[in-house]
Structure 1
Amino acid sequence: MDSFDASTANKQPATGGITVEPFDGVVTATFADVIIGSSKEALLLREEDHDPVFYIPFKDVYFDFLRKSPTVTHCPHKGDASHWSVSANGEGMDDVVWAYETPFAGVAEIAGHAAFYPKKVRIEAVNNQTDQSIDL
């Protein structure tokens, strides 16, 4: 019988043409005119056949407006994603934020970071070099 080695469980490399790089600028996520996350230390994840995604460090996400959801999704390249719902300014919406709390090793740098669904929140990214908003 093969034994399961928990120490290597999250060591699967990322595939699918994934790259993660620091974003040189400020990324802000807004829901119902309330900033729910803003960071100068965001990461930009690009994945083959997917739109680019900004990941904001947890320390820059305003979790006072969020509650953890029972929703968990799985990506074969990144791992299992937890989700959070938002309530702000008298409005609410389910599953607006996700995070890979223990991502696979190939994308380990996104641990401790959250991403926001662009169809559910407004995401603004302003590049430091050009002072221009970035459209992804």
Structure 2
Amino acid sequence: MPVFPTERSVRTTPEGLLWEPSERWVRGVKGEVTVVDSRQPVLVWEPEVPVPCYAFPREDVRTDLLNPAADPPTGEHRGARIFYDLRSGPEQVANAAWTYPGADLAGHIAFEWFRRWGSGLDHWYEEEEEIFVHPRDPHKRVDALPSSRHVQVEIAGTVVADTHRPVLLFETGLPTRYYLPREDVRLDLFEPTDRRTGCPYKGTAEYWTWQGGGEVPRNILWSYAEPLPAVAAVKGLLAFYNEAVDLTVDGVRLERPVTLFSKTLRP
């Protein structure tokens, strides 16, 4: 069967990596120096890592800024062959880049993304839009849909939210999140915290912690004050971790899902 240019073609390496060519123009900047400028990047998915990274043709990378890593890590980036330290001006970033083994990705260099693991370059751009945390997965979809479902939220037996005006956020690979108007949430039972997280699909979230006692995880409630345009419908609304509260939707109590966040939710 012929493969047309508009069809996606995810490929597998003998080492168990998935990769796919991208048509996006991607640039990575450290300080005022453009370290990566590529119109032929590839997306790489490592086993058991839920988000992709980019790898770039060597000729699109400022390899003069890279030196073999002085202290390469072990057990990171499935089968990584060579790690590099990045020096830009007076600053050096350890293990900022690496190469993958095998012929499929030979000649490509991958980079850590700032705010993903706390290292890497300062800014990344796809076309003219800055992208945070990690590259967006072209096979992932995020939809925020206003609804009239009846949603109730309980924590430790206390009803903390009750609304008929939720916005349901459907995100590939995650449970449906229910974003609720502030006036329908007992926000007086929560205390704001200094926690902030970033998402390349939604923006930067702020958090609140339950003040009612019991074995309830911290930062259980969040909101996007200025969400990205694709999910503008959730602006200023509040959402709870389904994994740690009791949700009832249209009279049906939902089971608490087990997700990649479950292990990080701690009292």
Do they superpose with TM above 0.5?
yes
Give the TM-score, by structure 2 length.
0.41
Equivalent AA in structure 2 for residue 124 of structure 1: T
**SS of residue paired to 1:19:** strand
Match 1:133 to one of 252, 255, 267:
252
Partner in structure 2 of residue 5 of structure 1: none
Offset of 1:54 from its aligned partner?
0.7
**SS of residue paired to 2:192:** strand
Match 1:61 to one of 163, 166, 185:
185
Equivalent AA in structure 1 for residue 234 of structure 2: I
**SS of residue paired to 1:103:** coil
**SS of residue paired to 2:244:** coil
Task: Point out where structure 1 has 5 or more consecutive residues left out of the alignment.
Answer: 2-8, 127-131
Match 2:198 to one of 68, 71, 74:
74
Match 1:104 to one of 228, 236, 243:
228
Quick check: which one's strand share is greater?
Answer: 1
Give the TM-score, by structure 1 length.
0.78
Offset of 1:81 from its aligned partner?
0.6
Contact 1:101 1:111 in 2 (8 A): yes
Please give the alpha-carbon distance, in whole angstroms, between the structure 2 residues aligned to 1:30 and 1:134. 10
Q: Does 1:40 align with 2:164?
A: yes
Please give the alpha-carbon distance, in whole angstroms, between the structure 2 residues aligned to 1:125 and 1:57. 15
Quote the sequence identity (%). Answer: 24
Offset of 1:22 from its aligned partner?
2.1
Residue by residue, what CA displacement relative to the aligned partner does 1:65-84 show, whole Å, maximum 9, x if unpaired?
00011111111010001111
Q: What is the CA RMSD across the aligned residues, in angstroms? A: 2.4
Q: Does 1:21 align with 2:140?
A: no
Please give the alpha-carbon distance, in whole angstroms, between the structure 2 residues aligned to 1:54 and 1:99. 11
Please give the alpha-carbon distance, in whole angstroms, between the structure 2 residues aligned to 1:77 and 1:53. 14
**SS of residue paired to 2:221:** strand
Partner in structure 1 of residue 209 of structure 2: 85
Partner in structure 1 of residue 242 of structure 2: 118
Q: Does 1:31 align with 2:155?
A: yes
Task: Point out where structure 2 has 5 or more consecutive residues left out of the alignment.
Answer: 1-31, 33-128, 131-135, 256-267
Contact 2:146 2:233 in 1 (8 A): no
Please give the alpha-carbon distance, in whole angstroms, between the structure 2 residues aligned to 1:40 and 1:112. 17
**SS of residue paired to 2:218:** strand
Offset of 1:134 from its aligned partner?
6.7
Count how many residue pairs are aligned between Structure 1 and Structure 2. Answer: 120
Instruction: Choose between structure 1 and 2 for higher RCO, CA contacts under 8 A separated by at least 6 residues.
Output: 1
